[in-house]
Homo-oligomer: A and B are copies of this chain.
Amino acid sequence: MIPAAILDGILHGSAAQQRRAIAKAITLLESTRADHRAQGDALLTALLPHTGKAFRLGISGVPGVGKSTFIEALGLYLIAQGHRVAVLTIDPSSSVSGGSILGDKTRMEHLSVNDQAYIRPSPSSGTLGGVAEKTREAMLVCEAAGYDVVIVETVGVGQSETAAASMTDMFVLLQLPNAGDDLQAIKKGVMEIADLVVINKADLDPHAAMRADAQITSSLRILSQHGNPENSRHDKALWHPKVLQISALLGQGVDGFWDAVSQYRELQTANGRLATRREKQALAWMWERIDAGLKQAFRQHPQVKNLLPALQQDVAAGRIAASTAARNLLSAQSGQALSAIE
């Protein structure tokens, strides 16, 4: 059942063989054919013991913040230090537009041609959940092939930030020194999950950057006050979200950024939170996929398909209560009278 050639290529191939094997593995995992899916699952299970050694870094920011420039600078910096870097992308809009705003390899001209880098555009399969699943699986494949820094990049226009944060060890938010941007990030729940906030293009207006720095630092402090008591700011064994100013274009601040990432990694490894985070992520991910599968099976059920259009109209028109309609549809799927939901 396991595609042995692909497995061998990923684990033991030369750099060029690995690239080809990774591409084949990802194609297999993205296939909707049941036999491919079974092979893909067998492959994943065989690869799993070789995963988990990479550092997983999520990077998010709205279009125009300079993500590509920053990731290219960071990637080249890391490769110069002996790392191997994979860049994966979550961009659910790519399945709508047919092309990823983030996936274009020409965005990172120097990094994309580097032997030690692997850049994969966003999968274009349907929902955010589907896109995120493929990205998560691609991440495992890259880790098994020995990439020791995996960057999961996402465009800051939806819920994709949460997806990226939910598969990485550290989540970084790139911000511009613009007034109000921090409120937008708070509103979307992104500020709250950021382990590090980076103000990019700080060189363009140093005063604005200082103001943004102070504002975000204050926001992070206030957000943490009423937050999870586990994240008390007074415990030195815990990481407290930081704010950094950089200029990716001028190459300023990338080393400071990586210092901060390394500090975070050491601290969170020592206090056990990195391992806990990964465990929770894996379980949450399992349930997320179960939910998606349940909904899909429900919508495809013949009886549900029959009843749904008329019931939706009845609910919208107020002829039947929403909860009654839900119970009727659930009974139709299960083929029996349902007792009350929870």
For the complex, give the distance between the alpha carbons of A26 and B163 in Å: 40
Report chain B residues within 8 Å CB of A294. Answer: 291, 294-295, 298, 330
Chain A contact residues: helix, strand, loop or mixed? helix
Contact B342 A222 (CB under 8 A): no
With both chains docked as a complex, state the minimum distance between the C-beta of A19 and any C-beta of chain B, in angstroms: 22
Contact of A14 with B by CB under 8 A = no
For the complex, give the distance between the alpha carbons of A215 and B291 in Å: 40
For the complex, give the distance between the alpha carbons of A223 and B31 in Å: 40
Contact A341 B296 (CB under 8 A): yes
Of the candidates B41, B51, B337, the one whose C-beta lies within 8 Å of that of A34 is: B337
Of the candidates B32, B315, B338, the one whose C-beta lies within 8 Å of that of A340 is: B32
Of the candidates B225, B323, B330, the one whose C-beta lies within 8 Å of that of A136 is: B323
Contact of A339 with B by CB under 8 A = yes
Contact A322 B41 (CB under 8 A): no
Please tell me how many copies of the chain the complex holds. Answer: 2
Contact of A130 with B by CB under 8 A = yes
Contact of A256 with B by CB under 8 A = no
With both chains docked as a complex, state the minimum distance between the C-beta of A282 and any C-beta of chain B, in angstroms: 5
With both chains docked as a complex, state the minimum distance between the C-beta of A223 and any C-beta of chain B, in angstroms: 6
For the complex, give the distance between the alpha carbons of A34 and B330 in Å: 14
Contact of A203 with B by CB under 8 A = no
Contact of A262 with B by CB under 8 A = no
For the complex, give the distance between the alpha carbons of A289 and B133 in Å: 25
Contact A291 B283 (CB under 8 A): no
**Using a CB–CB distance below 8 Å, which chain A residues touch chain B?**
31-34, 37-38, 41, 44-45, 48, 51-52, 125-127, 129-130, 133, 136-137, 140, 180, 183-184, 186-187, 189, 191-192, 219, 222-223, 225-226, 278-279, 282-283, 285-287, 289-298, 311-312, 315-316, 318-327, 329-330, 334, 337-342
Mind listing 6 A-B residue pairs with CB under 8 Å?
A34-B338, A133-B323, A186-B186, A278-B318, A283-B315, A289-B326
